[in-house]
Amino acid sequence: MKSIDHPIFKESIRYIQDRLGYTGLDDLQQQVLERLIHTSGDFGIQSLLKFSNGACQAGILALRAGAPIITDTFMASAAITPMASKTLNTSIYCALDWVSNQNQAEGEGLTKTASGMKSAYIELSNEFRDARSPIVVIGSAPSALISLLDLIENDCFSPNLIVGMPVGFIGVLESKRRLSHAKVNQISIKSNRGGAALAAASINALLRASIK
């Protein structure tokens, strides 16, 4: 199979591997970490990155089974689309496409992104179930993560994987704390750090690994 990686990317990953040395992570976790460091230019990510047991493996199996990806922002969706097209042609949806106007969200007492995530996940989790249950990638909005966790706690179908990396200060730590206690496969970054680029890089690492 022809490589999908640019030579400079490969050289960068070799540099990162040399700098990291032994990490104790399994192969898939290591690939996610390397991709995050490559994206951020920050080796400090290593101490903040957290995986639930088997999260990466669950993500790979779901992607290969045809599970869609739901993002909280168009930025995250745009960052994942090129890798998805090079690998499994995974369907990618943005929660914001499920919100017609701000009044709809305000009427539900939610932010626009949280309202969209609620509607998108209910619809898509009913369409894609079990092995194809959605993968959710959150890199900006803690309110979207909280909305998703509320659904799961109220017996909605669980996603195959949550990449939970909202960024900022208001509600971010609380949303990550709730995620850490949820019984769901998850990849997250502790602290206030995160962002669409890092969340997308995590799932892109799994998409890349899914065709090996």
- Residue 170 in any domain: the answer is yes
- Residue 197 in any domain: the answer is yes
Q: What is the pTM of this model?
A: 0.95
- Residue 23 in any domain: the answer is yes
- Give the containing element (helix H, strand E) for 107: helix 102-107
CATH number at residue 49: 3.40.50.10230
For the beta sheet containing 92-94, the strands, ordered from the edge strand earlier in sequence to the opposite edge, are 49-51, 186-189, 161-164, 135-138, 69-71, 92-94
- Residue 201 in any domain: the answer is yes
Provide the domain limits for residue 159.
7-209
Please give the backbone phi and psi of residue 105, each rounded to the nearest 5 degrees, phi first.
-65, -45
- Residue 193 in any domain: the answer is yes
Per-residue pLDDT in tens (0 to 9) along the chain, 212 residues:
446 788 999 999 999 999 999 999 999 999 999 999 999 999 999 999 999 999 999 999 999 999 999 999 999 999 999 999 999 999 999 999 998 766 666 667 789 999 999 999 999 999 999 999 999 999 999 999 999 999 999 988 999 999 999 999 999 999 999 999 999 999 999 999 999 999 999 999 999 999 98
Tell me the HSE value of 113 on the side-chain side, using a 13 A CA sphere: 19
CA–CA dist 92, 130 (Å, integer): 18
- Residue 17 in any domain: the answer is yes
- Residue 2 in any domain: the answer is no
Q: For the chain, how many structural domains are there in total?
A: 1
- Residue 24 in any domain: the answer is yes
Q: Which residue has the tokens 């599970």?
A: 67
